[in-house]
């Protein structure tokens, strides 16, 4: 085979784990000679032999054929290294003295007594497909269910799936291969010894240290959004997230989560940039080169220097997922002012904008464009100018132009483009005003607290496997990645479940984890009950997907805001972006706030507020609160009335498990119309 | 050597320190006391130009601001003075029963005059009754309050050499940027890049919430 045309399969390197002969494919000579002969002829065979690159010549592998005949291309050594790095992370936690699992064990849902976890399954059809000459990429994609079921290491440490491991291996391979100018592997490797020396050099042999950096970045929308159509800025988040790894040279994305990304990168200039502060400066310059990284956004981040040696790798993992230590902004002027030259311009709109000085939308750049506010009339389809002007910077002005384009009626469904936001909201506002309809808006956002996730996962491992001393680094990326995969699936499932009850013109999908619902007044179906259904569905699905997470503490945060459509969107946005201190965060704008964990919610749900007696009592209690604001009076009233209302309703209160404020907030949000 | 500062308690029944008007219809209220706003207000009140002050609202007030409904809305309809016709209604958010602390750099005569005249006006919609503020002297800040620590900023300050020197700010780790207006004359000024609440820096303890770096 011509070495120049050889193909590499980092993602597919472990497919033999679904059959036999994974550790040395040449062992198939004894087990299944015909398969061995067939695989040997294929491009993928050298990638399947990634362990052989390191153990060829050892006594324990008598069948192993020499992978170094004529020299082995460096890319195959990089597959070995990538495999090693991807699995070294996920194999810190050993389950061998407790249990062996063939199926990947997920501490958030699995039970170690479940015998199905130990059922071994050989998937010979995968190998048969390869033997027939099918493209290994396609074979991999067609068998995702098997890859997601099978643990990466069934013998010793089964907490990451073969799928996650394969995905991570490919990412590490890309990182090493794209940056070989830094890692310095020669094009051809001649022997096992040569391979080991090169790998140890990369890992950081004594005196030869090659640092790498993990960079975790979270994208924030900078401004306090005032109009719902401004949510176009939020829509752009996913485009911006795609551009970040492309803009940072020498980087590779390890995971992304809607508005958060984790990258591994090499320093650009080893002499200058081996310290975090220099890396930060270099990162900022590269981020500022992204065209859509405008003053509407800023990033928070952590930068962690590490080495590829086993001892040092991920030794400071907890810093990566702790509080963000850095921020990154587009270029900002030190002063924004109007000059004499500006005043002399013949462009009146320009002068008017310069007099305003600061862009009204982002408030971080000089205003240079005056735009009359435009109103979309959903009844006639007309767009008219109003007397009110906005003074914007050029980026924000472009945003307005794009919004206008999207707000024009078209025949195309805009849900995919995200362009329905402005039109739908305008239509709903029109309905509310012209047709005197009582319309409420409900925003739902689901987010993941990564710091809390690491804590909760550690606790689960400690409980499930009685492992006393677990560091954050023992979780690594594989287990986190495994969880993120299930989390994303959960978010998609929940969103689709909610959308089943709301037709397309009654909902807006802003981001996969952030959407808006239109609620109209209906006979016999109070909106309080609708809100409760939305919350209940979240809890049901959460408990189905993550049954082992405690109800007292969850890393997944559910936020819901709810108000009349006339209320400024900025009140919703402010809550949704700056709160989420508990698992359930429900804010009926200007009415009531309920921030509690799931177990408390269950206790409050026992109160049966649909019962007329209880409802009537709580209604009066709310009046007392409004008049007096005195918590003690409220508590006395509850104790006084509990006997005739029924002790079983109020026992969580008398047992001090919930307080009277929570009772009232619950009633105001779910009990009233 | 750090400048001398006085601490005052601060209160206001209805206060709006507003952000820029959004699309002419809604003006939201911030929940801290920027150095630009309080310095300007005190300069106007005392007829001076050299007051430097900054402040923030109490943690207890802020943590329960929504629960206790301390944010309210006022609708006004400014008229076009030529046509005597109302423009679009303007909804302004304001804080109710705001409580906090103000820190003022010591200047000659400050204590006495503020003792005699502790009430002043600050913020937006003064003509509608908002912005009546009151301060009460608490203490002179001690060395332990001025001691540099790493922490999160609780207020908003200009990011210029003068301000950073007055406050003894040495290192800024994680800036949260914004712009504050700086008056250069009665009729003109410019926007200075500034550090907003949440910025992590090394500075005097009294304006920071301590964090572990």
Report, as an integer, the average pLDDT of A491-509: 92
**Structure token pair of residue B164:** 């950073």
The CA distance from B196 to the nearest CA of chain A, in Å, is 12
Instruction: Measure CB to CB from residue A373 to each of B23, B26, B177 and give the nearest one.
Output: B23
User: Nearest to residue A572, comparing CAs of A378, A440, A453?
Assistant: A440
Substitution target in B93, B150, B179 with the highest count of A β-carbons within 10 Å is: B179
pTM of this prediction exceeds 0.80: yes
Question: B152 to chain A: nearest residue by CA?
Answer: A325
Q: What is residue A121's predicted lDDT score, i.e. its pLDDT?
A: 80
A442 within 8 A of A531, measured Cβ to Cβ:
yes
Q: A95-104, A251-260, A549-558, B135-144: which has the minimum mean pLDDT?
A: A95-104
First to last CA, chain A: 74
User: Which member of A323, A386, A587 has the closest CB to residue B66?
Assistant: A587
B190, B198, B200, B201: best mutation site toward chain A, by most A Cβ within 10 Å? B190
CB B191 to CB A336 under 8 A? yes
Q: State percent of chain A over pLDDT 70.
A: 86
For the four alpha carbons of A42, A47, A53 and A57, in that order, the dihedral sign comes to: negative
- Are the Cβ atoms of A387 and B193 closer than 8 angstroms? no
State the average pLDDT for chain A: 83
Q: Encode pLDDT of B120-144 as tens digits.
A: 999 988 888 899 999 999 999 999 9
More confident residue, A308 or A541: A541
Tell me which of B70, B82, B177 to substitute to probe the interface with A (most A C-beta atoms closer than 10 Å).
B177
Contacts of B91 in chain A (CB under 8 A): 568
In chain A, what residues touch B213 (CB-CB under 8 Å)?
A: 325
CA distances from A355 to A259, A396, A554, B186, B189 (A): 35, 17, 50, 15, 11
Is residue A423 within 8 Å of A376, Cβ to Cβ? Answer: yes
**pLDDT of A411 strictly over 50:** no
Check A327 against B22: CB less than 8 A apart.
no
Nearest CB to B24; choose among A298, A373, A661: A373
Closest residue in chain B to residue A626, using alpha carbons only: B68
Interface with chain B: mutation pick from A323, A339, A353, highest number of B CBs within 10 Å: A323
Number of H helices, E strands in chain A: 27, 18
Burial A300-325 (b: 16+ CB within 10 A, else e): bbbbbebbbbeeebbbebbebbbeeb
CB contacts, 8 Å: A335 with chain B: 190-193
pLDDT at residue B131 in the model = 92
CB atoms within 10 A of CB B107: 15
pLDDT at A419 over 60: no
Summarize the confidence of residues A350-369 as an average pLDDT: 89
Chain Cα centroid distance, residue A664: 34
CB atoms within 10 A of CB A57: 13
Residue A57 vs residues A14, A31, A50, A76, A531: alpha-carbon distances, Å = 21, 21, 14, 17, 67
Q: Indicate if the alpha-carbon torsion angle A18, A23, A27, A31 is positive or negative.
A: negative
From A335, A338, A388, residue closest to B23, measured CB to CB: A388
Q: Are A585 and A558 in contact (CB under 8 A)?
A: yes
CA distance B158 to B150: 18
Statement: residue A374 has pLDDT above 80: no
Smallest Cβ distance to A332: which of B67, B87, B193?
B193
Q: What is the pLDDT of residues B140-192, one digit of tens each?
A: 999 999 999 999 999 999 999 999 999 999 899 999 999 999 999 888 899 99
CA pseudo-torsion sign A654, A658, A659, A664: negative
Q: Among the listed ranges A128-132, A178-182, A425-429, A524-528, which one has the minimum average pLDDT value?
A: A524-528
Give the A:B interface size as CB pairs under 8 Å: 87
Q: How far apart are the first and last CA of chain B?
A: 25
Query: A400 to chain B: nearest residue by CA?
Result: B23
The first and second tokens of residue A660, run together, are: 């009277």
B20·A363 Cβ contact <8 A: yes
Cβ neighbours of A574 in B, within 8 Å: 28
Of A120-124, A441-445, A451-455, which one has max mean pLDDT?
A: A441-445
- pLDDT category at A545 given cuts 50, 70, 90 is very high
Which pLDDT score, from 0 to 100, does residue A673 have?
A: 46
A298–B193 C-beta distance less than 8 A: no
Q: How far is CA A250 from CA A244, A247, A270, in A?
A: 12, 9, 12
* Chain B residues with CB within 8 Å of chain A CB: 19-26, 28, 66-67, 69, 87-88, 91, 159, 173-179, 189-193, 200, 211-213
Among residues A64, A73, A71, A82, the alpha carbon closest in space to that of A27 is found at A64
With CA atoms as reference, report the closest residue to A378 among A344, A412, A409, A419: A409
Strand ranges (E), A471-565: 507-511, 514-520, 556-564
Residues of A in contact with B200 (CB under 8 A): 325
């Amino acid at each position: 085979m011509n070495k120049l045309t050889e193909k590499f399969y980092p993602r597919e390197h472990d497919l033999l784990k679904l059959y036999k002969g994974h550790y040395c494919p040449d062992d198939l000579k004894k087990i299944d000679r015909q398969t061995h002969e067939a695989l040997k002829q294929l491009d993928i065979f050298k990638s399947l032999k990634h362990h052989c690159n390191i153990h060829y010549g050892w006594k324990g592998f008598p069948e192993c054929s020499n992978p170094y005949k004529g020299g082995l291309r460096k890319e195959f050594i990089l597959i070995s290294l990538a495999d090693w790095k991807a699995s070294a992370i996920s194999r810190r936690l050993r389950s061998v003295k407790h249990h062996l699992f063939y199926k990947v064990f997920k501490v958030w849902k699995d039970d170690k007594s479940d015998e199905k976890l130990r059922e071994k399954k050989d998937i010979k059809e995968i190998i048969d497909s390869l033997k027939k000459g099918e493209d290994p990429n396609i074979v991999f994609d067609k068998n995702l269910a098997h890859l997601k079921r099978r643990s990466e290491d069934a013998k010793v440490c089964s907490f990451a799936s073969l799928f996650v491991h394969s995905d991570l291996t490919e990412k590490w391979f890309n990182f090493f291969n794209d940056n070989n100018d830094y890692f310095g592997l020669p094009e051809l490797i001649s022997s096992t010894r040569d391979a080991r020396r090169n790998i140890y050099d990369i890992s950081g042999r004594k005196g030869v240290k090659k640092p790498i950096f993990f960079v975790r970045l979270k994208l924030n929308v900078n401004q306090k959004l005032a109009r719902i159509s401004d949510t176009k800025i939020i829509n752009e988040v996913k485009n911006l997230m795609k551009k970040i790894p492309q803009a940072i040279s020498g980087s590779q994305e390890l995971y992304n989560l809607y508005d958060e990304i984790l990258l591994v990168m090499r320093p650009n200039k080893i002499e200058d940039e081996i310290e975090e502060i220099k890396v930060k400066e270099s990162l900022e310059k590269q981020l500022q080169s992204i065209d859509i990284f405008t003053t509407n956004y800023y990033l928070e981040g952590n930068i962690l220097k590490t080495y590829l040696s086993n001892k040092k790798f991920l030794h400071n993992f907890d810093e990566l997922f702790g509080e963000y230590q850095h921020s990154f902004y587009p270029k900002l002027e030190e002063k924004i002012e109007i000059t004499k030259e500006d005043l002399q311009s013949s462009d009146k709109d320009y002068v008017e904008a310069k007099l305003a000085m600061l862009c009204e939308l982002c408030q971080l750049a000089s205003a240079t464009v005056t735009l009359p506010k435009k109103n979309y009339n959903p009844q006639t389809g007309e767009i008219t100018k109003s007397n009110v002007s906005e003074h914007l910077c050029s980026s924000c002005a472009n945003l307005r132009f794009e919004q206008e384009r999207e707000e024009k009626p078209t025949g195309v469904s805009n849900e995919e483009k995200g362009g329905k936001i402005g039109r739908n909201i305008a239509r709903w506002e029109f309905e509310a005003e012209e047709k005197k309809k009582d319309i409420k808006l409900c925003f739902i956002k689901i987010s993941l607290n990564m710091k809390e996730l690491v804590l909760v996962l550690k606790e689960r491992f400690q409980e499930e496997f009685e492992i006393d001393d677990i560091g954050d680094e023992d979780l690594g990326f594989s287990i986190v990645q495994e969880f993120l995969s299930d989390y994303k699936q959960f978010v998609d499932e929940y969103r689709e479940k909610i959308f089943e009850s709301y037709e397309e013109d009654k909902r807006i999908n802003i981001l996969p984890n952030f959407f808006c619902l239109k609620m109209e007044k209906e006979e016999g179906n109070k909106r309080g009950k609708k809100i409760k259904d939305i919350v209940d569905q979240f809890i049901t699905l959460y408990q189905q997907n993550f049954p082992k997470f405690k109800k007292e503490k969850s890393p997944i945060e559910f936020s819901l805001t709810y108000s009349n459509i006339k209320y400024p969107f900025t009140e919703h946005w402010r809550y949704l972006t700056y709160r989420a201190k508990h698992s359930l965060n429900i804010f009926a704008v200007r009415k009531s706030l309920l921030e509690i964990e799931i177990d408390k919610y269950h206790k409050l749900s026992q109160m049966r507020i649909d019962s007329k007696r209880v409802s009537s009592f709580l209604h009066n209690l709310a009046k007392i609160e409004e008049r007096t604001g005195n918590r003690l009076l409220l508590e006395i009233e509850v104790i006084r009335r509990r006997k005739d209302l029924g002790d079983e309703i109020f026992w969580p209160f008398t047992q001090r498990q919930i307080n009277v404020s929570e009772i009232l907030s619950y009633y105001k949000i779910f009990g009233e119309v | 050597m750090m400048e001398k500062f006085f601490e005052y308690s601060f209160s206001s029944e209805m206060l709006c320190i507003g952000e820029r008007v959004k699309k002419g219809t809604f003006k939201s209220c911030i929940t801290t006391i920027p150095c630009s706003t309080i310095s300007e207000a005190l300069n106007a009140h005392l007829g001076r130009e050299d007051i430097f002050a900054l402040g923030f609202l109490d943690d207890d007030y802020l943590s329960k601001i929504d629960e206790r409904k301390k944010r309210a809305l006022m609708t006004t309809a400014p008229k076009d003075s030529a046509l005597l016709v109302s423009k679009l209604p303007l909804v302004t958010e304001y804080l109710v029963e705001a409580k906090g602390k103000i820190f003022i750099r010591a200047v000659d005569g400050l204590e006495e005059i503020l003792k005699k005249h502790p009430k002043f006006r600050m913020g937006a919609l003064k003509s509608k009754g908002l912005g009546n503020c009151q301060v009460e002297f608490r203490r002179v800040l001690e060395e332990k309050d001025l001691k540099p620590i790493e922490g999160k900023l609780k207020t908003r300050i200009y990011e210029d050499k003068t301000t950073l020197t007055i406050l003894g700010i040495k290192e800024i780790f994680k800036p949260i940027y914004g712009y504050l207006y700086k008056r250069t004359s009665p009729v003109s000024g410019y926007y200075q890049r500034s550090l907003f609440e949440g910025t992590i820096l090394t500075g005097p303890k009294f304006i920071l919430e301590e964090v572990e770096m």
